[in-house]
């Protein structure tokens, strides 16, 4: 048992150990040592009191300025008011019936004070704050080790456990450390000039100076990146050891016939990815590939080719789509692209042909029965579905490939639920239209090989984006409707996207009353559509599409829109991903500031899919200098999804950056920030790869190996907890 495994109750006593456990799930000395300080306060440097805001939970360093105990008028008892200062501003501390504290809170003494900032009689105050006085210079040596250093660590604390109490526990824990085993290979540690694990932990909590604290932080941040990369690289190697059916491309098959009938040339990028995938599928271990690409870069065709290669080899391919709208569209697209090749088992079929079937939650029992049987018997080579594909009753004859469209909508659990339906480990292709920076991909999808489609097919008309500020120029909204009428007159179609289905279903939109339009809730699909039909878009064929409609209505509306029978689709974000109607050229997004940057980019990707230029209007009532407007300006300024995803990610919390796919590991990332620490992640990845190779899967580094195993195990439990 190493020092870090020591139970905290042996060090700080049962009572405090229980509070640490309840507040932070801290059980061992090691857990406590990994509860890192958020920042440091410097002895003698008082906190800026003027900066404190009402309602803040604060821990401040201040000096006692004066104190006064007085009787409460008309009531029993007394009130002790202590004024503390940072040298200029003052803060009042109040205690009821605790006159004895005056002796502790000596005028001129410095202390740490924690509590919630309130306002009383126009003055900032802390009522009944928790505090810890700091021994002055002369007392330092005689005082408990606590607060002896110049840098006072500040921890995330709770009402039950003030920051300095955690600090005292940490100091007791440090005193018990004898020789902490360092799992980091010495060669790697020295190559980066890092302190040992023990030095790093001690220096992070009780730094001699800020350089030591920085070095400690860097070493421990590296550890997080390194362990995570080791786990991912090893997982990837495990996958490479699995045995599966090799699916070599054959001559004279469906794929060849499909290529011959394809109405366009693949782009250079598509050809590269196609070759990578062909190569993967020919191996006897399963493909594990992420295809990320710009919106409209043509991922579907690439996926379809992979699916056909599987069918050619006698297997089946399943495509998992996030929405029914998208699943239905994939079915239509595949049928259109394949033509007679998709009519297997019917009279009109070509000699090489297959059947495509759809499995969704809302189909009738009869349809479902046919689809299930086609999947189970192998009658269908391609099975498209929503979450319903994961259902128990769904079986396959020989599932060789799983394609997950719009991966960001699914977690690892879901792709695993499909995997178990295959006889042998299936090949896996996950696609995402939310391009992510390389190091994020490395962290989130580090066990996948990554292919990227950056270019759009040739001849794609550009998309122009404008922010329509209805705050400054209300009349611009009229212009937006006029643009829709013009596009429709020219034979095109339009989308109008609103954040809500129904009026009043959430707080009302600011845009509403600005226009004095009849409804107070213009940015809701079900009010906006009739209003426009009767008003600004009178005479046009306007339909609604949203998630509360049943799937038949959704499907028939999408079909009608795709067939050009409708002019304008007023919709929620159900059309966000994947919807592909080339004739739609204009999109108006209402209350655009309510959507995220990547989401707007996705939405906008629905227009400009054909050869006519696309126009996207971001309607917003956010003030010109607001952060919301800045985000909209960013979207308007570039069509580069990679750049936008970076902006998007920078504004999110780390857990959201990593998303559901890797949230298990995310909770183990205390210091690492995937965007800020890109360079470190790259280095950690390279180190992980080389050490795994050089050490025969870490067998020469047992301590490191068990750290990685622990991380993998925790990540797995987190998934289970979530499910």
Part of the chain binding ligand ADP (CB under 6 A), chosen from 11-19, 148-156, 293-301, 667-675 = 293-301
Of the pair 269, 578, the CB lying nearest Mg ion is at 578
Using the rule CB under 6 A, is 267 a contact of ligand ADP? yes
Residue 140: name its binding partner from ligand ADP, Mg ion, none (Cβ under 5 to 8 Å by kind).
Answer: none
**In the complex, what is the shortest distance from the CB of residue 320 to Mg ion, in angstroms, rounded to a whole number?**
13
Pick the binder of ligand ADP from 21, 99, 239, 266 (CB under 6 A): 266
Residue 161: DSSP 8-state: B
Taking the complex as a whole, the smallest distance from the CB of residue 384 to ligand ADP amounts, in Å, to: 14
Q: How many residues bind Mg ion (CB under 5 A)?
A: 1
* Near ligand ADP by CB under 6 A: residue from 205, 288, 415, 609: 609
Of 411 and 578, which CB lies nearer to Mg ion in the complex structure? 578
Return the number of other C-beta atoms located less than 10 Å from residue 10's C-beta: 12
Among 205, 212, 299, 409, binds ligand ADP (CB under 6 A): 299
Choose among ligand ADP, Mg ion, none what residue 580 binds, the Cβ cut-off being 5 to 8 Å by kind: ligand ADP
Kindly list the strands in the beta sheet with 449-453, ordered across the sheet, starting from the edge strand earlier in the chain.
Answer: 356-359, 382-385, 316-320, 399-404, 427-432, 288-293, 449-453
Q: Which is nearer to ligand ADP, 288 or 606 (CB)?
A: 606
Closest approach, Cβ 434 to ligand ADP, in A, equals 11
Other residues' Cβ atoms within 10 Å of the Cβ of residue 496: 26
State which residue, 81 or 455, has the beta carbon closest to ligand ADP: 455
Closer residue to ligand ADP in complex, CB, 458/720: 458
Residue 385 contact, options ligand ADP, Mg ion, none, Cβ 5-8 Å cut-off depending on partner type: none
Closest approach of ligand ADP to the CB of residue 413, in Å: 24
Residues 531-590 that bind ligand ADP (CB under 6 A): 578, 580, 582
In the bound state with Mg ion, the residue whose beta carbon lies nearer, of 165 and 289, is 289
- Which residue of this chain has its Cβ atom nearest to ligand ADP in the complex? 298
Nearest CB to ligand ADP, comparing residues 45 and 265: 265
Interhelix angle 14-24/163-176, rounded to 10 degrees, is 120
Judged by beta carbon, residue 300 or residue 620, the one nearer ligand ADP is: 300
Contacted entry of ligand ADP, Mg ion, none for residue 609, CB cut-off 5 to 8 Å set by kind: ligand ADP
| Beta bridge mates, 684 | none
- Check the CA dihedral 228-234-235-240 and report its sign: positive
Residue 297 contacts ligand ADP per CB under 6 A = yes
Least distance (Å) between residue 415 CB and ligand ADP: 18
> Which has the closest alpha carbon to 63: 39, 37, 40, 44?
44
270 contacts ligand ADP (rule: CB under 6 A): yes
- 68-90 CB burial, b ≥16 within 10 A, e <16: ebeeeeeeeeebbebbbebeebb
Using the Cα atoms of residue 102, residue 108, residue 109 and residue 110 in order, give the sign of their dihedral.
positive
Q: How far apart (Å, rounded) are the C-alpha atoms in residues 287 and 279?
A: 9
Considering the complex, state which of residue 315 and residue 578 has its C-beta at the smaller distance from Mg ion.
Answer: 578
* For ligand ADP, the closer CB: 256 or 510: 256
Q: Which residues partner with 493 through β-bridges?
A: 584
Q: Which does 211 bind (CB under 5 to 8 A by kind): ligand ADP, Mg ion, none?
A: none
H/E run at residue 374: helix 365-377
**How far, in Å, CA of 516 to CA of 503, rounded?**
15
Work out the burial of residue 703: count CB atoms within 10 Å of its CB; fewer than 13 is exposed, 13-18 middle, 19 or more buried: middle
Mask 559-598, x = binds Mg ion (CB under 5 A)?
A: -------------------x--------------------
288 binds, options Mg ion, ligand ADP, none, Cβ within 5 to 8 A by partner type: none
Helix locations, 402-515, DSSP H:
412-419, 438-444, 476-489, 510-515
Closest to ligand ADP by CB, 234 vs 301, is 301
CA 321 to CA 403: how far, in whole Å?
Answer: 9
Burial class, 451, CB count within 10 angstroms (exposed 0-12 / middle 13-18 / buried 19+): buried
- For ligand ADP, the closer of residues 560 and 582 by Cβ is 582
Q: What is the dihedral of CA 652, 595, 361, 555, to 10 degrees?
A: -150
Helices (H), ranges, 546-659: 551-562, 597-604, 627-637, 641-650, 654-658
178, with CB counted inside 10 A (0-12, 13-18, 19+), is exposed
User: How far is residue 118 CA from its own chain's centroid?
Assistant: 35
> Judged by CB under 6 A, how many residues of this single chain contact ligand ADP?
19
Q: What is the CA radius of gyration of the chain?
A: 31
For position 457 contacting ligand ADP by CB under 6 A, the verdict is: yes
Q: What is the DSSP letter of 305?
A: H
Backbone φ, ψ for residue 193 (5° rounding): 65, 40
Provide, rounded to whole angstroms, the least separation between the CB of residue 640 and ligand ADP: 15
Site for Mg ion in 632-661 (CB under 5 A): none
449-453 and 399-404 strand pairing: unpaired
From the list Mg ion, ligand ADP, none, partner contacted by residue 16 (C-beta under 5 to 8 A by kind): none
Site for ligand ADP (CB under 6 A): which residue of 47, 92, 167, 300? 300
CB of 291 to ligand ADP, least distance (A): 9
Q: Which of 37, 129, 298, 608 binds ligand ADP (CB under 6 A)?
A: 298
Residue 433 engages ligand ADP in binding (rule: CB under 6 A): yes
Residue among 267 and 533 whose Cβ is closer to ligand ADP:
267
Binding site for ligand ADP (CB under 6 A): 264-267, 270, 293, 295-301, 433, 457, 578, 580, 582, 609
Sites of contact with Mg ion (CB under 5 A): 578
């Amino acid at each position: 048992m190493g020092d870090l495994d020591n139970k905290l109750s042996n060090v700080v006593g049962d009572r405090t150990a229980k509070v640490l456990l309840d507040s932070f799930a801290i059980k061992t000395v090691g857990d406590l040592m990994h509860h890192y300080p958020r920042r440091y306060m410097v002895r003698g440097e008082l906190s800026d009191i003027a900066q404190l805001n009402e309602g803040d939970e604060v821990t401040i360093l201040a000096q006692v300025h004066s104190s006064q105990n007085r009787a409460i008028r008309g009531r029993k008892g007394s009130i002790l008011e202590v004024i503390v200062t940072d040298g200029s501003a003052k803060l009042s501390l109040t205690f009821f019936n605790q006159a004895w504290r005056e002796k502790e809170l000596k005028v001129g003494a410095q202390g740490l004070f924690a509590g919630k900032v309130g306002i009383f009689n126009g003055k900032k105050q802390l009522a009944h704050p928790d505090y810890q006085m700091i021994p002055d210079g002369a007392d330092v040596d005689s005082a408990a080790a606590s607060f002896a250093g110049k840098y006072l660590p500040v921890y995330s604390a709770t009402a039950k456990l003030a920051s300095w109490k955690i600090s005292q526990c940490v100091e007791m824990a440090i005193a018990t450390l004898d020789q902490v085993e360092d799992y980091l290979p010495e060669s790697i540690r020295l190559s980066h000039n890092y302190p040992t694990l023990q030095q790093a932990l001690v220096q992070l909590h009780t730094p001699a100076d800020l350089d030591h604290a920085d070095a400690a932080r860097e070493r421990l941040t590296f550890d997080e990146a390194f362990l995570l990369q080791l786990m991912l690289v090893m997982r990837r190697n495990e996958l490479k050891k699995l045995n599966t059916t090799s699916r070599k491309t054959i001559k004279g098959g469906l794929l060849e016939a499909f290529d011959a009938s394809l109405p366009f040339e693949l782009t250079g990028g598509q050809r590269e990815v196609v070759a990578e995938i062909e190569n993967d599928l020919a191996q006897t271990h399963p493909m594990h590939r992420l295809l990320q690409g710009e919106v409209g870069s043509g991922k579907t065709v690439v996926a379809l080719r992979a699916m056909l290669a599987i069918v050619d080899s006698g297997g089946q391919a399943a495509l998992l789509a996030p929405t029914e709208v998208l699943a239905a569209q994939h079915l239509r697209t595949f049928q259109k692209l394949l033509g007679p090749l998709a009519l297997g088992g019917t009279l009109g079929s070509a000699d090489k042909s297959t059947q495509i079937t759809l499995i969704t939650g809302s189909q009738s029992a009869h349809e479902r029965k046919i689809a299930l049987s086609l999947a189970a018997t192998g009658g269908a080579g391609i099975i498209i579905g929503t979450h319903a594909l994961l259902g128990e009753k769904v079986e396959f004859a020989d599932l060789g490939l799983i394609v997950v469209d719009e991966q960001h909508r699914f977690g690892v659990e879901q792709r695993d639920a499909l995997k178990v339906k295959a006889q042998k480990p299936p090949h896996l292709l996950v696609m995402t239209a939310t391009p992510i920076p390389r190091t994020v991909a490395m962290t989130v999808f580090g066990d996948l090989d990554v292919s990227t489609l950056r270019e759009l097919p040739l001849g794609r008309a550009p998309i122009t984006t404008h922010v329509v500020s209805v705050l400054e120029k209300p009349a611009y909204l009229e212009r937006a409707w006029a643009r829709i009428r013009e596009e429709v007159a020219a034979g095109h179609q339009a989308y109008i996207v609103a954040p809500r289905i129904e009026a009043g279903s959430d707080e009302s939109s600011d845009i509403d009353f600005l226009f004095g339009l009849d409804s107070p809730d213009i940015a809701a699909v079900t009010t906006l559509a009739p209003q426009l039909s009767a008003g600004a878009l009178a005479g046009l064929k306007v339909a609604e599409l949203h998630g509360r409609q049943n799937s038949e209505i959704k499907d028939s509306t999408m079909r009608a829109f795709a067939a050009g029978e409708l002019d304008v689709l007023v919709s929620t974000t159900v059309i966000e991903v994947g919807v592909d109607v080339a004739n739609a050229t204009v999109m108006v997004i209402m209350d655009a500031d309510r959507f995220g940057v990547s989401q707007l980019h996705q939405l906008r990707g629905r227009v400009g899919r054909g050869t006519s230029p696309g126009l996207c209007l971001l309607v917003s009532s956010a003030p010109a200098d607001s952060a919301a407007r800045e985000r909209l300006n960013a979207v308007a300024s570039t069509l580069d999804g990679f750049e936008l995803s970076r902006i998007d990610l920078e504004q999110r919390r780390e857990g959201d950056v990593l998303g559901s796919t890797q949230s298990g590991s995310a909770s183990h990332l205390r210091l690492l920030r995937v965007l800020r620490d890109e360079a470190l992640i790259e280095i950690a990845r390279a180190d992980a790869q080389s050490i795994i190779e050089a050490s025969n899967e870490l067998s020469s580094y047992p301590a490191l190996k068990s750290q990685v195993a622990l991380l993998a195990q925790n990540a797995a439990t987190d998934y289970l907890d979530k499910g």
